[in-house]
Amino acid sequence: MASACRTLILLCGVSGLMTGAWSQLGASSHQCPTGWTRLDNRCFIVRNDILTFAEAEENCKRLGGNLASIRNPVEQALIDVLTEEVLLNTQVNGEVTDGSANGGDLWIGLHFSTEEEAFVWTDGSDFDFDLPNSVGAIDGIPFCVLFDGGVWTEASCSESNPYVCARDVFQCVSICMQQGAPFAQP
């Protein structure tokens, strides 16, 4: 019962965020592309195509973003809600599944860099939000991080999983203005 109440409160809060009620003032003229969900100044989309970490990052770049960095508990809650819906229709080897074939895991943009000997996000943002005791020791082997219902776990970057992309709402505005092009959405 307590879990159901907590989930309901979380969904209500995320619903308010997804409507843009808490988005930055003056940002109403900038929208996320179709299919993306806006939270503050970022757009998110969960993709159910099954790709390796590197392939997923490349696809997110083609969509104008990166694999998602999770910067705070609200972003994590939003990704959790979006994931539940999308992974219900995940395709594995051409078969529609309930998402259980991959355990509900999806790539986020966090990975361990052996060059930097630290966790880094693919978008270059600071790694200053994490879930204690969610990611274990790596024993010197590079790995990438999966998100599953609020838990972050390490996995081989060559595994194939669905993924979540994120992009800045204003990203195209600055890029397009530098190139002299009008605002466009990919």
pLDDT per residue, tens digit, the chain (186 aa), is: 444 334 444 444 544 444 444 333 333 447 899 999 999 999 999 998 999 999 999 999 999 999 999 999 999 999 999 988 776 665 554 555 544 445 678 999 999 887 877 889 999 988 776 554 455 445 555 689 999 877 888 889 999 999 999 999 987 544 444 434 343 443
Residue 135 pLDDT: 53
Question: 72, 136, 144, 75: which is closest to 106 by C-alpha?
Answer: 144
Q: Residue 175: CA atoms inside 13 Å, Cβ hemisphere, count? A: 11
Residue 90 pLDDT: 54
3-state secondary structure 141-172: CCCEEEEECCEEEEECCCCCEEEEEEEECCHH
Residue 126 pLDDT: 83
Residue 168 pLDDT: 93
E strand segments, the chain: 37-39, 42-51, 66-67, 91-92, 95-96, 106-113, 118-121, 144-148, 151-155, 161-168
Q: 94: which 2 tokens? A: 């051409």
Residue 123 pLDDT: 95
- Helix, coil or strand: residue 8: helix
Rounded to 5 degrees, φ, ψ at 78 are: -60, -45
Angle at CA of residue 69, ends 67 and 74, nearest 5°: 125
- Helix, coil or strand: residue 93: coil
- Helix, coil or strand: residue 20: coil
